Structure 1
Amino acid sequence: MEEKEIKNLLDLYFKGECTPAEKRYLESMFDQLSMHGEFDEKTIDREAVMHRLKGKIDRQIRRERFITLPVMLRVAAAVFLITSVAAFFYYKSTGFSRVQYVITTVPKGQRMKLTLSDGSTVMLNAGSRIRYPEKFNRETRSVTLLEGEAFFDVKRNDEKPFVVETPGTQTQVLGTAFNVQAYQAFKEVKVTVMRGKVAVKEAGTGEQKPVLLLPDEQVIVNTATGYQTKKHINANESIGWMQGKFLFRNETLMNVALILENSYNVKIEFNKETTKEIRFTANFNSTDSLEKILFAIAKANGITYSINDKIVRF
């Protein structure tokens, strides 16, 4: 295992950009693997040694208010080294050393199309961020939508399910077309099916029964509670953004603001918290000026706004 590969995985872990599966594996490896001088990975009692080592670090952390800065730095270094060892075994046991990941971020005001190594395509909305392998070479084809919105058109492969992970959900398909909206500020994830069938469940729930979706069906998952709402909709409206349309349906102004921020590269602020929760329904085109949209929002809801140096205030 190369030092660079270990560092990359740790960077993703500490930034919160590991997939739920990677995070769970890393954390479980911390309890299972060991580092105690020189060791033979085939014969050492990894679980017992790591349990003792983890306990020692936990005790040091509880005493941190009484220790000097150099000692605290040594504790931090120990934690880093132990986690690096966990990362080493994680890569070694799963074959991750052969997988190179790419993180693509779409600038505000733009959209981007990606073609993955299996021929599946992903259309990313403005301000979105996705993590995917350069080449799929494991049992599943797994990508992570870290932020934003994406439309997936998946090439069918009965032997390798396609999995989309977000900070709150896991969506699995064989071959289909569907939209995933996973803006972290929304505190909910929406999965909408255009073609085929998908299975959606809350991330990290083990054997939880997934929600099955057919065309023109959508599930909304509350990322805080895990509560799921399934409903029938016009799926074409969920991908209006791909045709340059803003289709707001009973959306809070806070959510509308985020979409406009990403599309027009501005910052939108609210003077009152209650204004954020006002709900709004309207259709616009991306060719409409920001001023036109803001005027319509303000007039429909009896509020005022101002623009100063790309900062909008309601």
Structure 2
Amino acid sequence: MPNNHIYLLISRKLSGEATPEELERLQDLLAASTDQQFQAEILSAYFNTPHNYNSESDISQEEKIQRILHAGDAFARDEENVVGLTSLKSRRKWYFAAAAVFMIMFTSGWYFFHQKEVMIHQPLPRQVAGNPGKLKEVVTRSGARTMMVLPDGSKVWLNAGSKLRYDEDFNKKLREVELEGEGFFDVVKNPKMPFIVHTSDIDIRVLGTAFNVKSYAGDDNIEATLLRGQIEVVRKDDPSAPKVILKPNEKLIFSREVTPARVRSADKIPDTVPMSPVISITPVSGSIPDSEKSETSWLYNRLVFEGDSFAELARKMERWYDVKIVFRDERLQHIRLSGVFDNEGLEQALQALQIITPYSYEINGKEVVLYEK
């Protein structure tokens, strides 16, 4: 049975009518339960965020909730300048918040498993083999996404096929995590204890900010995209190199692929000289919603690709749909593609790509074979 007292306090917080004592009590209750803390995040996000779905059954279910939320907003707007109705308005707004929480509790199964079995869920950290009692690990399989709250209150969203590790003493002396794959971090500010994300080739140091990191083992690049705050990036292959500072709406790209330079020595015999990986910084538009940016669209269950080669897109689709994609014809791998997968299933996505470029495909269980017509 759900803790009704917690949901009562959440309702009052959403309506803005919770007293300082109630907010403190709610914080204590949530701190004692990661699961209830996650549920509170769900309820708060749902209460404050509009959603659009396509099927009639989704719309009718959604409308039931939105009528409550919109009615509460409309009531508050109508009475905003009316003297003497503050108490009535507060009670009415609290009622709408409570009703929304009640309905979300009973529709959470529909909401979070809508469209595909890939919606965000709360993971249970597991012990890392070989490090009993020390490292904890959260893993997301291909075709899934995960949201978690770290002991310091920082939130992490993990994309498909990703892994996050952290010490059980996290937030006691250090705030450090190891990332393989892709994660979005919303870090709680603590000037005395910086938050550090370790990847295979770079370390990212922050105080309090929101940013996305993509570091899949099979990709050519590591990317760090900053939405707000400031982050500091250090190369692992050359810690003494100048630190790179990112500002909001900037993306750092660390290229793993290095092309050795060829020089001629005194005896005219060409030698190969290793070169350091290249770091570049590119702007990210701040005028478009995060849901439409290729770097953060995955948080909104959307796969945005802009000028990706078919091979690059195939790797994303493998993680997105939990399949293995095989190219029978190499030429297809180099075709550049742009578009968005919103709610499409695997076959719908493959058919949509056929509009852009002619090719054929076969689906054999979890293997997809692509070839020229």
TM bracket, shorter-chain basis = 0.5 to 0.7
Check whether the contact 1:99–1:137 (CA below 8 A) recurs between aligned residues: no
Mapped pair 1:284 → 2:341:
yes
Mapped pair 1:233 → 2:267:
no
Q: Which moved more, 1:186-195 or 1:100-109?
A: 100-109
Look up the match of 2:91: none
Check whether the contact 1:172–1:199 (CA below 8 A) recurs between aligned residues: yes
Q: CA deviation at 1:139?
A: 5.0
Structure-1 separation of matches of 2:215 and 2:207: 21
Check whether the contact 2:210–2:226 (CA below 8 A) recurs between aligned residues: yes
SS in 2 for 1:255: helix
Residue 210 of structure 1 aligns with an amino acid whose one-letter code is K
Percent pairwise identity: 33
Deviations 1:55-105 (A, max 9, x none): xxxxxxxxxxxxxxxxxxxxxxxxxxxxxxxxxxxxxxxxxx997211211
Structure-1 separation of matches of 2:234 and 2:358: 40
Q: CA deviation at 1:159?
A: 1.4
Q: CA deviation at 1:137?
A: 5.2
Look up the match of 1:129: 163
Structure-1 separation of matches of 2:281 and 2:209: 18
Look up the match of 1:160: 193
Check whether the contact 2:151–2:171 (CA below 8 A) recurs between aligned residues: no
Check whether the contact 1:117–1:135 (CA below 8 A) recurs between aligned residues: no
Structure-1 separation of matches of 2:329 and 2:168: 45
Mapped pair 1:249 → 2:300:
no
Match for residue 360 of structure 2 among 299, 304, 313: 304
Deviations 1:135-156 (A, max 9, x none): 325654211112x210001111
Residue 234 of structure 1 aligns with an amino acid whose one-letter code is S
**Aligned-residue CA RMSD (Å):** 1.9
SS in 1 for 2:218: helix
Check whether the contact 2:182–2:213 (CA below 8 A) recurs between aligned residues: yes
Structure-2 separation of matches of 1:204 and 1:167: 10
Check whether the contact 1:169–1:203 (CA below 8 A) recurs between aligned residues: yes
Structure-2 separation of matches of 1:274 and 1:212: 39
* The structure with more radius of gyration: 2
Residue 153 of structure 1 aligns with an amino acid whose one-letter code is D
Matches of residues 1-314 of structure 1 in structure 2 within 5 Å? 100-136=134-170, 140-146=174-180, 148-225=181-258, 226-234=277-285, 236=290, 237=293, 238-285=295-342, 287-314=343-370
Work out the number of aligned pairs and report it.
216
Aligned CA distance change for structure 1 residues 156 and 263 (closer, same or farther; 3 Å): same
Aligned CA distance change for structure 1 residues 298 and 154 (closer, same or farther; 3 Å): same
SS in 2 for 1:295: helix
SS in 2 for 1:184: coil
Deviations 1:253-277 (A, max 9, x none): 2221122112212111111333223
SS in 2 for 1:117: coil
Q: CA deviation at 1:202?
A: 2.2
Q: CA deviation at 1:242?
A: 0.6
Deviations 1:17-46 (A, max 9, x none): xxxxxxxxxxxxxxxxxxxxxxxxxxxxxx
Structure-2 separation of matches of 1:167 and 1:273: 29
SS in 2 for 1:104: strand
Check whether the contact 1:109–1:262 (CA below 8 A) recurs between aligned residues: yes
Structure-1 separation of matches of 2:173 and 2:255: 29
Look up the match of 1:46: none
Structure-2 separation of matches of 1:213 and 1:145: 19
> TM-score, normalised to structure 2's length?
0.55
Check whether the contact 2:182–2:215 (CA below 8 A) recurs between aligned residues: yes
Structure-1 separation of matches of 2:209 and 2:304: 23
Listed as ranges, the gaps of 5+ residues in structure 1 are 1-96
Structure-2 separation of matches of 1:297 and 1:131: 36
Structure-1 separation of matches of 2:341 and 2:147: 22
SS in 1 for 2:325: strand
Deviations 1:143-201 (A, max 9, x none): 1112x210001111111111111112111111100000111111211100111011123
Q: CA deviation at 1:204?
A: 3.3
Structure-2 separation of matches of 1:152 and 1:101: 19
Structure-2 separation of matches of 1:274 and 1:186: 19
